[in-house]
Amino acid sequence: MTRASLPLKAAALGGLAFLHVPLIFILLYCFTTEERSYAFPPPGYTLKWFAVVWDRADIWAAIGLSLKVAVAATALALVLGTLAAGALARAKFFGREPISLLLVLPIALPGIVTGIALRQAFGLMEIPFSFWTIVIGHATFCIVVVYNNAVARLRRLSPSLIEASMDLGADAFQTFRLVVLPNIGTALLAGGMLAFALSFDEVIVTTFTAGQQSTLPIWMLSELIRPRQRPVTNVVAVMIILVTFLPILAAYYLTREGEAVAGSGK
Amino acid sequence: MSFGATSPGAMNPAGFDLPAPREGIGRRLSDALTRHGRLLTLLLLTPPLLWLGLIYLGSLFVFLAQSIFSIDPFSGMIVREPTTATLIELFRPANFDIVRRTVLVAAAVTALCAVLAFPIAYYAARYAGPKVKAGFYLAVMMPLWSSYLVKVYGWKLLLAKEGAIGWFAGRLGLGGALDAWLALPVVGGPSLSVSYTGMVLTFTYLWLPFMILPIQAALERVPPHLIEAAGDLGASPGLVFRTVILPLAMPGVVAGAIFTFSLTLGDYIVPQIIGTSALVLGQAVYTLQGTAGNIPLAAAFSLVPILVMALFLTIARRTGAFDAL
Amino acid sequence: MGAVRGAARRPQKAVPPMHATLDTVPATPAVRFQGVARHFGAIRAVDGVDLSIAPGEFFAMLGPSGSGKTTCLRLIAGFEQPDAGHIEIFGETVEGLPPYRRAVNTVFQDYALFPHLSVGDNVAYGLRVRGVARAERARLAREALALVKLAGMETRRPAQLSGGQRQRVALARALVVRPKVLLLDEPLGALDLKLREEMQSELKGLQRALGLTFVFVTHDQGEALSMADRVAVFNEGRIVQVGPPEEVYERPATRFVAGFVGSANVLEPAQAAALGGAARVSSLRPEKIVLLAPGAPAPEGTGVVEASVTDVSYQGPVRRVAVRDARGLALVVAVPAGAGTVALGQAVRLAVPAGALQPMEGEP
């Protein structure tokens, strides 16, 4: 393999830096003493905003709601996404292509369309906004994340493993429990974590399905449009980064290990 | 049951019988499922299809179908009679401008994403060792999965008039250049955070990972011997790049463009926070369904990104971009 | 549902005698196919196969890829269901029975070891799903591993084993649940030459010791001839010849068998008659032809061919010499090492013993 030229290297590393610089600035502004503008460099540094966040009940309520919604939406997406992956991983039948399109549609179409459509449907059926209206919206676009992870792993799973299990006397359910599930487990976990992160962070669809409820991103959006104490927003932003960072990192290692195991099993 | 007289003792503990498997509803259901593979597929598909088909497609249809209704100009009520008036209204200059503006922004974002993503993807696919590659992957995935709002917020900090970009430009003696850029028509404005430049930059930042990953996937499928072969045949590196690598990477670029384009078309939050006062599509839909209460026109506007994307996807399918997803 | 419930328990009837002689197929064959067909769309993978495998037999299904042999194996295992015809295993009708209700087990071509389980748990899998207690199945798995010479490997992962070892684990895993028929899909295909020869004799020994019915699929004619009691040669979804290896080799029934099993010379009726054989399409094994020394008289009862050498290829113990005579008869002759020199273009005299010409029963 030849070595990369200097301009290519510089462009690649510059691009990566571009992806991370704004996040660094968010962290920096957590400590500024200036709360009315985004003056750079910050005139002074303080830790008081962390204490302010700690005492804000509205923020904790929003975090609580976001966590509950993310758990429920992830659970639903895990079941529905795994079922869809099981059906589509290998089977070839008429209508397979439209179904996989249908799965991707909720993230392929603009979130605003999904959001308004769901709000209209809830209005039409006179369903009041609640915890579950948010969950329904989130689960809809989380399914595909679980599906993608599960279907990729299922396709790598040698079909003869399932045949071997049945050959040795296991029925379909035993085969699923003892062979399929252990082999796709990490992929499901990874898909679940990504779905969790996606739901925890979602704002566009939520705007239309939450009514008066405030998830953390909704709280954040209102702060962005009508800022009160700007550094408080920064502290919350860093918290959000941490809450989504850990599952994503875990998902990454889970899928990587899974690949190593599946690859050497041959 | 035994192996008979010739079996070695080790395999034939005398008189041992394997127990018969437990029979039950599960096993009988399993019989039916293994005999009829389609039944299994059907059972597996029913819950997700009910969910997506009924809840999602149903709502989508109910909403979009209203684009054939119109709104009574006096009462503001929806007139439930099929008409093409609402769809035609899209082509009124003010509305058509919104569509054109949005598509142009989406195109600019897509182009900028492709230019920025290519070197990253190319380096990761062709030159990085396993460790560096894993690092690259994480470095791309982290911002991708980081909070959308947090990222938008980060750019608001950077682009603000008194913010970091302006400060650094001043320190590096580029303050004049920045002012000159902001003085330009269309791309300029009072400050970066209320200009198209700021909006495009923010969008590019948000969607860049969606462009990097498919390009890298496509490039990784270019067999190295193909490039070597082209080199052996006397092609210069530039020629190899143009005639071998670029065409093979195109499906990845198209796959990435599907994301960057569609995400920009539908977004209404970034333009609310960063950008000019002129509306883009997402904002228009948001305003129409909310304060204006004109659901039929909101539905008509929503059809635009869907149709643009459908067109895009049809072209993409032809180029084989879906294999790079 | 009735048929399924009836077959719910493994058949408890006595196991038939293990060493049936080859020419007398007993009343209850281990495996019986009657007019079995399996089509995939327009492809007739198996196209009307009749087959009877005796208990205790080492039976080979030989054929090129796509000839239907693997599909036949999968039909026995239950991974495929026939579109037409009838399949019995030890007298029990198995159409519609899922694999887990059949007293047959398979050694897969890719071994199909469960990557998430240890070697011991892999072998014990079939016992586990039958509800055998943990300690008992550990003991049985240990014994099975000892049988395939892998004692003490229980805690390893399949990924830590060599190809040959994985093959043995797959074998132990299938044997531990006491199949009445063991199916082997290209069992030696993924092994290197030396290991393959070793496993050939071991498999044969194991089969003899256990007295089990082995059905194995291979595209390697040498493997089929050296291991099997009987060989079925497949072509285009049908069986073209069944018989003991000697018979299939010595008396190929069709041009296809003559060509696929050990590449025999095929003579047209007139050519066979000219050499003293019957006026039928006949096969002639290259090693049956004798290269005569210059001037030497032809032995009694042999046809003589005067030809010139068109090609010579050295193959260790023999040289394969291609010759052609004036009337266009082309033959390949296996000349033992040390039987004189043969050069390209040289004129040679060949003797063909009358008995060496075998009329093909499957050809007009």
Higher pLDDT, C16 or B170: B170
pLDDT of residue C7: 39
Contact C291, C342 (CB under 8 A): yes
- Whether residues B221 and B282 share a domain: the answer is yes
What integer best gives the mean pLDDT of chain C?
87
User: What average pLDDT score do residues C15-20 get?
Assistant: 44
Residues in chain A: 266
Q: At what angle do helices A111-124 and A131-156 cross, to 10 degrees?
A: 130
Report how far residue A248's alpha carbon sits from residue C144's, in angstroms, rounded to the nearest whole number. 44
Architecture per CATH, A56-264: Orthogonal Bundle (1.10)
Spatial strand order of the sheet with C330-336 comes to C290-292, C347-353, C302-315, C318-325, C330-336
Report the b/e string of C61-84 with b at 16+ CB within 10 A. bbbeeebbbbbbbbbbbbbbbbee
Contact assignment for A93 to B38 by CB distance below 8 Å: yes
Q: Is residue C127 part of a domain?
A: yes
Tokens 């404005």: give the residue: B189
Q: Which domain holds residue B160?
A: 88-324
pLDDT of residue B17: 62
- Whether residues B125 and B271 share a domain: the answer is yes
Q: Which domain holds residue C127?
A: 2-259
- Whether residues B217 and B117 share a domain: the answer is yes
Higher pLDDT, C304 or A229: C304
Tokens 């040498």: give the residue: C222
Identity of the amino acid at B18:
L
- Whether residues B319 and B236 share a domain: the answer is yes
Q: Is residue C277 part of a domain?
A: no
Q: Kindly list the domain boundaries of chain A, sorted by start residue.
A: 56-264
Report the Cα–Cα distance between both ends of chain B, in Å, rounded: 54
Q: Tell me the backbone φ, ψ of residue C113, rounded to 5 degrees.
A: -75, 145
DSSP state, residue C131: T
- Whether residues B216 and B252 share a domain: the answer is yes
Tell me the count of A-B CB pairs closer than 8 A.
265
- Whether residues B191 and B60 share a domain: the answer is no
Q: Is the pLDDT of residue A266 over 70?
A: no
C130-134 contacts: CB < 8 A, separation 24 or more?
C130/A169, C130/B18, C130/B19, C130/B20, C130/B21, C130/C177, C131/B19, C131/B21, C131/B22, C132/B18, C132/B19
How far A185 CA sits from the closest chain C CA (Å)? 11
Report how far residue A67's alpha carbon sits from residue A251's, in angstroms, rounded to the nearest whole number. 18
Instruction: Express each pLDDT in B191-243 by its tens digit.
Output: 888 889 999 999 999 999 889 988 888 888 777 777 777 777 777 777 877 87
Task: Name the residue among B4, B30, B31 with its Cβ closest to that of C15.
Answer: B4
- Whether residues C159 and C204 share a domain: the answer is yes
- C177 vs A contacts (CB less than 8 Å): 168-169
Q: Is residue C136 part of a domain?
A: yes
- Whether residues C199 and C302 share a domain: the answer is no
How far B28 CA sits from the closest chain C CA (Å)? 8
Q: List CB contacts of A95: < 8 A, sequence separation 6 or more.
A: none
Report how far residue C70's alpha carbon sits from residue C76's, in angstroms, rounded to the nearest whole number. 10
Identity of the amino acid at A75:
A
Instruction: Express each pLDDT in C86-110 by its tens digit.
Output: 999 999 999 989 999 999 999 999 9
Give the total number of structural domains in chain B: 2
From C240, C259, C278, the end of a domain falls on C259
Contact assignment for A265 to C159 by CB distance below 8 Å: yes
Q: Is residue B186 part of a domain?
A: yes
Q: What is the mean pLDDT of each run of 10 residues along chain B (325 residues)?
A: 36 51 83 84 91 92 88 79 84 89 93 92 84 84 80 86 84 84 81 88 92 86 75 75 80 84 86 85 86 85 87 75 52
Q: Is residue C240 part of a domain?
A: yes
- Whether residues C238 and C335 share a domain: the answer is no
Report the Cα–Cα distance between both ends of chain C, in Å, rounded: 48
Contact assignment for C178 to B1 by CB distance below 8 Å: yes
Report how far residue A203's alpha carbon sits from residue A35's, in angstroms, rounded to the nearest whole number. 25
Q: Which of C10, C97, C108, C114 to mutate to test the interface with A (most CBs of A within 10 A)?
A: C114
Report how far residue B113's alpha carbon sits from residue B119's, in angstroms, rounded to the nearest whole number. 11
State whether residue B109 sits within 8 Å of chain A by CB: no
Give the total number of structural domains in chain C: 2
Q: Is residue B77 part of a domain?
A: no
Q: Tell me the backbone φ, ψ of residue A52, rounded to 5 degrees.
A: -60, -45
